[in-house]
């Protein structure tokens, strides 16, 4: 018996990711893969970001979840085009799922595609979706030790959003430890400190995203 | 080419889980699989629980992480026997890893084995480790929608610990939604509301665990 190795699966994923990348490029769409633990605040951040970006840019969203459509409903309520992927058990999105979901979006009408991955700090890191940018959301309530425990996902990201800064005074989270960890894992990564519920730090992040998106499409 | 299906992997896991179960039974050890998101507070809960249980019972701990040993160091500081498993990329413990780790514990000296799984609400649910009890830790800062998004893990658990109750006033977490979700997913599950940092609710949980452990060994 032969074994289908993880390498084969990742090779197939890379082919689909490259197709996605080509489609995004042809349509002039900048694509972001938003990662983080369950409950780190990805959807709330996305809602806050969309309030800043929708207008200057034409955004679309893909929501990844094991089951349910609560997140897609929240995005739809903002009037932003959204497709929900239910992975039916899989703990991460892969490029093939995104390829299928993209067929339900009008890419030509979009400038920016935000993909909210399944809440997971492990397997999501291994699957390129064809994005130009990876952003990790790390909430203050999770603890700063996540960089030590889940190094791969931080190593592959271009920005870390420290979310739920409103909860900081009630936790022992030390933002300096995030900066220390990133110096080793991803020295070029941008760091943002955000409280989405208080609308703090969101405008700065939105400006950075918009600048990256417009630099890409120039 | 033949494909090694997920079913084959799970069958191999089930054999190892059964071997673990037999060893735990022979040694009179009650085994708990502690699950939850990254940063849900599993280790802090474990520390608080051990302060109550170490003495009445002889506990041992297996810590599961992708990388690092920060959690095992915290348990060691309490004087409790602990083995760290580094999964080196895998997003969940499996029964074979636990079997290997158990070889480094003196099972005969233990009454209770607490296994802290990798922070993950998806894949951990699919791998029986040979435990008698599964407990999920769900923090108030994660949001009550986790039962809708990750139903499988709640379906397979006998208790849910709603952790970080000290943060409840600063979140929109609604404990009633957890109870509602569990009525569908796991109606027999016990629910505990705990603030480990404030030592609230820990004694009640410890009594419940001790009662389950002693009922098992009778």
Domains annotated for chain A, with CATH where assigned, are 6-217 (3.40.50.300)
A7 at B interface, C-beta within 8 A? no
pLDDT band at B216 (very low <50, low <70, confident <90, very high): low
**What pLDDT is recorded for position B7?**
73
Q: Check if B139 contacts A (Cβ < 8 Å).
A: yes
For the stretch A161-192, pLDDT in tens is 999 999 999 999 999 999 999 999 999 999 99
- The answer to whether B2 faces chain A, any CB pair under 8 Å, is yes
Chain position carrying tokens 């098992």 = B216
d(Cα A195, Cα A173) in Å, to the nearest integer? 14
Q: Which two tokens stand for residue A141?
A: 């309530």
Q: How far apart are CA B30 and CA A154, in angstroms?
A: 36
Residue A61: which of A77, A40, A46, A48 has the closest Cα?
A46
pLDDT computed for residue B59 by the predictor: 97
| Between A6 and B82, the higher pLDDT residue | B82
What radius of gyration, in Å, describes the C-alpha atoms of chain A?
17
pLDDT in tens, B43-100: 999 999 999 998 889 999 999 999 889 999 999 999 999 999 998 888 999 999 999 9
Mean model confidence pLDDT for chain B: 93
- The percentage of chain A sitting over the pLDDT mark of 90, rounded to a whole number, equals 88
Q: What is the DSSP letter of B109?
A: G
What pLDDT band is residue A8 in, cutting at 50, 70 and 90?
Answer: confident
Of B121, B139, B148, the CB nearest to A68: B148
Residue B138: closest C-alpha in chain A: A39
**Closest CA of chain B from A218, distance in Å:** 38
Which pLDDT belongs to residue B89? 84
- Which chain B positions have a beta carbon within 8 Å of A124's beta carbon? none
Mean pLDDT score, B35-49: 97
Cβ contact, residue pair B70, A145, below 8 Å: yes
- % pLDDT > 90, chain B: 88
Choose among A91, A152, A166: nearest Cβ to B120: A91
- For A190, other C-beta atoms within 10 Å of its C-beta total 16
Q: Is the pLDDT of residue A5 over 70?
A: no
Predicted pLDDT at A122: 93
Closest alpha carbon to A119 in A48, A195, A40, A178 = A40
The pLDDT value recorded for residue A11 is 86
Say whether B39 and A143 touch across the interface (CB within 8 A): yes
User: Which residues, 6 or more positions from B170, have their beta carbon under 8 angstroms from its beta carbon?
Assistant: A166, A167, A170
Partners of residue A152 in chain B, C-beta under 8 Å: 66, 89
Three-state SS letters, chain A = CCCCCHHHHHHHHHHHHHHHHHHHHHHCCEEEEEEECCCCCHHHHHHHHHHHHECCECEEEEEEECCCCHHHHHHHCCCCCEEEEECCCCCCCCHHHHHHHHCCCCHHHCCEEEEECCCECCHHHHCCCCCCEEEEEEEHHHCCCHHHHCHHHHHCCCEEEEECHHHHHHCCCCHHHHHHHHHHHCCCCEEEECECCCCECHHHHHHHHHHHHHHHHC
Q: In this complex, do A120 and B122 lie within 8 Å of one another by their Cβ atoms?
A: yes
Quote the pLDDT of residue A4: 54
Which residue of chain A is at minimal alpha-carbon distance from B126?
A: A89
Chain B, 18-37: which have a CB under 8 Å from a chain A CB?
Answer: 37
Band of residue A1 on the pLDDT scale cut at 50, 70, 90: very low
**B1 confidence band (pLDDT: 50, 70, 90):** very low
- The residue-averaged pLDDT of B206-218 equals 85
Residues 185-204 of B with CB under 8 A from A: none
B129-175 residue pLDDT tens: 999 999 999 999 999 999 999 999 999 999 999 999 999 999 999 99
Tell me, yes or no, if B6 comes closer than 8 A to chain A by beta carbon: no
Q: CB of A164 within 8 A of CB of A141?
A: yes
Please name the residues between 100 and 129 in chain B that touch chain A, using a CB distance below 8 Å.
Answer: 118-123
- In Å, how far is A197's CA from the nearest CA of chain B? 10
The b/e string for B127-151 (b: 16+ C-beta within 10 A; e otherwise) is bbbbbbbbbbbbbbbbbbbbbbbbb
Q: Do B66 and A149 touch (CB under 8 A)?
A: yes
Cα–Cα nearest to A78, from A53, A42, A102: A53
Nearest residue of chain B to residue A65 (CA atoms): B149
Per-residue pLDDT tens digits for A137-152: 999 999 999 999 999 9
Search chain B and give the residue with CA nearest A138: B39
What proportion of chain B, given as a percentage, has pLDDT over 70?
Answer: 96
The C-alpha atoms of residue A87 and residue A101 are separated, in whole angstroms, by: 12
- Our CA-based measurement puts residue B88 at a distance from the nearest CA of chain A, in whole angstroms, of 10
Q: How confident is the model at residue B3 (pLDDT cuts 50, 70, 90)?
A: low
Provide the percentage of residues in chain A whose pLDDT is more than 70: 96
Three-state secondary-structure class, residue B85: strand
What is the rounded CA–CA span in Å between residue B60 and residue B213? 13
How much is the pLDDT for A216? Answer: 65
Would the pLDDT of B9 be above 90?
no
Residue in chain A lying closest to B72 (CA): A149
pLDDT score for B11: 86
How many beta carbons lie within 10 A of that of residue A73, not counting itself? 12
On the question of pLDDT at A91 being above 50, the answer is yes
Q: Average of pLDDT values for B161-190?
A: 97
What is the pLDDT of chain A when averaged over all its residues? Answer: 93
């Amino acid at each position: 018996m032969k074994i289908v190795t993880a390498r084969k699966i990742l090779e197939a994923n890379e082919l689909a990711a490259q197709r996605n990348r080509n489609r995004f490029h042809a349509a002039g769409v900048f694509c972001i893969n938003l990662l983080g633990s369950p409950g780190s605040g990805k959807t709330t951040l996305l809602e806050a970001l969309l309030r800043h970006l929708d207008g200057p840019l034409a955004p679309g969203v893909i929501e990844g979840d094991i089951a349910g459509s609560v997140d897609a409903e929240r995005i739809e309520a903002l009037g932003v085009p959204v497709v929900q992927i239910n992975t039916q058990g899989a703990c991460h999105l892969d490029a093939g799922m995104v390829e299928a979901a993209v067929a339900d979006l009008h890419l030509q009408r979009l400038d920016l595609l935000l993909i909210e991955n399944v809440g997971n700090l492990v397997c999501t890191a291994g699957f390129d979706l064809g994005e130009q940018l990876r952003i990790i959301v790390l909430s203050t309530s999770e603890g700063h030790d996540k960089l030590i425990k889940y190094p791969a996902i931080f190593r592959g990201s271009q920005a870390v959003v420290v979310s739920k800064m409103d909860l900081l005074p009630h936790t022992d989270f030390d933002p300096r430890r995030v900066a220390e960890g990133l110096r080793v894992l991803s020295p070029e990564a941008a760091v943002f400190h955000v409280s989405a519920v208080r609308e703090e730090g969101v405008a700065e992040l939105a400006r950075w995203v918009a600048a990256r998106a417009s630099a890409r499409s120039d």
